[in-house]
């Protein structure tokens, strides 16, 4: 690997490390934050919801920002917002915490949207390798901070966790400031003149195609993506507090959250190739197995107060694998099930915008339900129903024709 390629690889890994950890770490210190702010824990669910709202509102804006100002300037702005947001959260006052979380969400939105563009611009012939690298970095960053949060807060206080998150966000910011590789004038993937012309004339071609919001297959993609997203972000926000309520120690909670993140790693490595080569029947069988195992975890929550620690490990591993499975399935199906690159972008935009809208409801609604009844059956039934809907939607997505 050339020095240039190594620099690109380290940069996208740095982006990945900072793409989820600033969100998933906050619930692990939410008790301490609530005491500092003199408020109920249930009122802080918004700290997990805000980044999702930013994903929803600004994903399309960021793409237009890149078109107008260029990739480098757009990422400079996003990474600066991320660092500034992490810095503001060190002042644990409610206005600064909210503003800091808004900026963190805005910065991560830029990374979500623009990291694939960095890969496409600088490594167009190795997109799979570099996409896998930053996808793995996302999970590693989440898992490592889940493991470090408890020992850090025990040894140095919970404020040290926020300081560590600031250092984490500075890593990609400094890497990008030092990134001085010239932007390739043209993408390098092999393609024919006809294909290039098709890419240039894409808006004209799409003018005769029915809008995606009228396509039932697109709505099934949205439902599948939204269902896994609401499970993922609700668990990340509230699983630590639920485990505390059931008497699980802080150290064990950190291990369980790390297992949740690590569970998705083998899925992200193996699933894309499986989806490209396996038959529809094999894909559906795999989806049924994942759905049934997750449904079992949901049903067992009715007896969570009497469950041993092993149950929480099982819940973390299965739900971590499940959310990764349907997330990677959605991302893989976008190009496989669309007729053109522009159509792929349309399906991705519709699915992710609607999916994050659904996901944004989860932490806040669960917080209200938890405040009324921590072990209530309403949220458990909701969990089970969402798992079933996600699994059923995946059947349609697997069999959908190109749209």
Whether residue 205 has pLDDT greater than 50 = no
Residues 225 and 100 in one domain: no
**230 and 333 co-located in one domain:** yes
Q: What angle do CA 365, 368, 369 make, to 5 degrees?
A: 90
Residue 9 lies in a domain: yes
pLDDT of the residue at 190:
44
Mean pLDDT over all residues of the chain? Answer: 81
pLDDT at residue 302 in the model: 87
Give the angle subtended at the CA of 9 by the CAs of 4 and 10, to the nearest 5°.
Answer: 100
pLDDT at residue 43, rounded to an integer: 74
Asked, for residue 238, whether it belongs to a domain, the answer is yes
> Are 176 and 292 contained in the same domain?
no
Distance in angstroms (rounded) separating the CA atoms of residues 244 and 150: 13
What mean pLDDT comes out for the span 255-278?
A: 82
**Do 155 and 219 fall into the same domain?**
no
Q: Which of 79-83, 85-89, 170-174, 233-237 has the lowest mean pLDDT?
A: 233-237
Last residue of a domain, one of 127, 145, 180: 180
Flag whether pLDDT at 194 surpasses 50: no
Secondary structure in 3-state letters for the chain: CCHHHHHHHHHHHHHHHCCCHHHHCHHHHHHHHHHHHCCCHHHHHHHHHHHHHHHHHHHHHHHHHHHHHCHHHHHHHHHHHHHHHHHHCCCCCHHHHHHHHHHHHHHHHHHHHHHHHHHHHHCCCCHHHHHHHHHHHHHHHHHHHHHHHHHHHHHHCCHHHHHHHHHHHHHHHHHHHHCCCCCCCCCCCCCCHHHHHHHHCHHHHHCCCCCHHHCHHHHHHHHHHHHHHHHHHHHHHHHHHHHHHCCCCHHHHHHHHHHHHHCHHHHHHHHHHHHHHCCHHHHHHHHHHHHHHHHHHHHHHHHHHHCCHHHHHHHHHHHHHHHHHHHHHHHHHHHHCCCCHHHHHHHHHHHHHHHHHHHHHHHHHHHHHHHHCCCCHHHHHHHHHHHHHHHHHHHHHHHCCCC
Give the pLDDT band (50/70/90) at residue 344: low
Q: Which pLDDT belongs to residue 166? A: 95
Q: 187 lies in a domain?
A: no
Encode pLDDT of 393-403 as tens digits: 988 888 877 77
- 247 and 351, same domain (yes or no): yes
Is pLDDT above 70 for 200?
Answer: no
Sign of the torsion formed by the C-alpha atoms of 63, 267, 355 and 399: positive
Residue 57 has pLDDT above 70, yes or no: yes
359-384: pLDDT as tens digits: 888 888 888 888 888 877 888 899 99
**Each residue of 230-247: pLDDT tens digit?**
998 888 888 888 888 888
Tokens 């297959």 belong to which residue? 217
Q: Looking at the domain assignment, is residue 196 inside a domain?
A: no
Q: How far is CA 402 from CA 53, 206, 217, in A?
A: 30, 14, 10
Together in a domain, 241 and 135 = no
Query: Is the pLDDT assigned to residue 187 strictly greater than 60?
Result: no
121 and 225 in a single domain? The answer is no
Q: 304 with 242, same domain? A: yes
Q: What is the pLDDT of residue 227?
A: 92
**The total number of structural domains that make up the chain:** 2
* Torsion angle (degrees, nearest 10) of CA 68, 78, 354, 287: 120
What residues contact 34, with CB distance under 8 A and at least 6 apart? 40, 41, 43, 44
* pLDDT for the residue 170: 95
pTM attached to this predicted model: 0.73
Torsion of CA 118, 122, 124, 127, to 10 degrees: -50
CATH number at residue 219: 1.20.1250.20
Q: Which pLDDT band holds residue 140 (cuts at 50, 70, 90)?
A: confident
Give yes or no: residues 160 and 86 share one domain.
yes
Q: Using CA atoms, how far apart are residues 101 and 23, in angstroms rounded to an integer? A: 9
Same-domain check for residues 80 and 169 = yes
Domain that holds residue 242: 205-403
Q: For residue 191, tell me if it sits in a domain.
A: no
**Residue 49 near residue 363, CB atoms below 8 Å:** yes
* Chain position carrying tokens 């917080």: 367
pLDDT of residue 183: 58
Question: Residue 121 domain-assigned?
Answer: yes
Q: Mean per-residue pLDDT for 30-41?
A: 82
Give the mean pLDDT of 284-312.
88
CA 205 to chain centre: 32
The rounded percent of the chain whose pLDDT value lies above 90 is: 20
* Banded pLDDT at 105 (limits 50, 70, 90): very high
User: Do the domain assignments include residue 170?
Assistant: yes
- Where is pLDDT greater, at 401 or 173? 173
Which whole number is the average pLDDT over 385-395?
92
Q: What is the pLDDT of residue 181?
A: 66
Q: How far is CA 333 from CA 127, 272, 328, in A?
A: 16, 9, 8
Q: State residue 384's pLDDT score.
A: 92
Domain boundary residue, one of 117, 146, 180: 180
299-328: average pLDDT: 87
Say whether both 334 and 283 belong to one domain.
yes
CA 263 – CA 325 distance, rounded (Å): 10
- Whether 149 and 257 map to the same domain: the answer is no
Question: Of the given ranges (80-89, 99-108, 221-230), which has the lowest mean pLDDT?
Answer: 221-230
Instruction: State residue 192's pLDDT score.
Output: 42
Residue bearing the bigger pLDDT, 390 or 147: 390
Q: Is residue 230 assigned to a domain?
A: yes
């Amino acid at each position: 690997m050339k020095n240039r390629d190594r620099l690109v690889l380290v940069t996208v890994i740095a982006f990945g490390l900072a793409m989820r950890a600033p969100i998933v770490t906050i619930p692990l210190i939410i008790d301490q934050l609530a005491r500092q702010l003199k408020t109920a824990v249930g009122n802080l669910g918004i700290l997990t919801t805000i980044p999702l709202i930013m994903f929803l509102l600004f994903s399309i804006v960021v793409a237009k920002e890149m078109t107008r100002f260029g990739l480098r300037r757009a990422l400079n702005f996003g990474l600066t917002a991320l660092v500034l947001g992490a810095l503001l959260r060190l002042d644990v006052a409610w206005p600064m915490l909210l503003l800091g979380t808004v900026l963190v969400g805005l910065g991560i939105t830029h990374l979500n949207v623009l990291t694939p563009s960095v890969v496409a611009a600088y490594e167009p012939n190795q997109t799979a390798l570099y996409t896998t690298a930053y996808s793995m970095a996302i999970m590693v960053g989440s898992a490592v901070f889940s493991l470090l949060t408890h020992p850090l807060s025990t040894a140095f206080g919970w404020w040290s966790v926020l300081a560590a998150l600031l250092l984490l966000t500075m890593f990609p910011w400094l890497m990008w400031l030092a990134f001085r590789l010239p932007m390739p004038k043209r993408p390098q993937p092999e393609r024919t003149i006809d294909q290039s012309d098709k890419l240039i004339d894409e808006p004209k071609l799409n003018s005769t195609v029915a809008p995606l919001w009228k396509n039932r297959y697109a709505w099934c993609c949205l439902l599948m993506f939204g269902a896994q997203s609401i499970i993922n972000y609700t668990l990340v926000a509230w699983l630590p507090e639920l485990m505390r309520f059931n008497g699980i120690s802080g150290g064990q909670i950190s291990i369980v959250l790390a297992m949740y993140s690590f569970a998705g790693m083998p899925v992200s490595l193996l699933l894309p190739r499986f989806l490209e080569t396996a038959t529809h029947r094999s894909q559906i069988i795999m989806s049924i197995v994942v759905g049934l195992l997750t449904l079992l975890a949901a049903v067992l929550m009715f007896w969570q107060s009497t469950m041993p620690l092993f149950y929480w490990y099982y819940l973390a591993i299965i739900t971590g694998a499940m959310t990764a499975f349907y997330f990677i399935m959605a991302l893989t199906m976008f190009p496989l099930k669309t007729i053109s690159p522009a159509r792929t972008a349309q399906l991705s935009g519709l699915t992710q915008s609607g999916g994050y809208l659904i996901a944004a409801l989860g932490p806040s609604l669960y917080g209200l339900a938890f405040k009324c009844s921590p072990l209530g059956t309403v949220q458990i039934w909701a969990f089970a129903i969402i798992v079933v809907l996600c699994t059923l939607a995946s059947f349609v997505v697997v069999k959908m024709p190109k749209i």
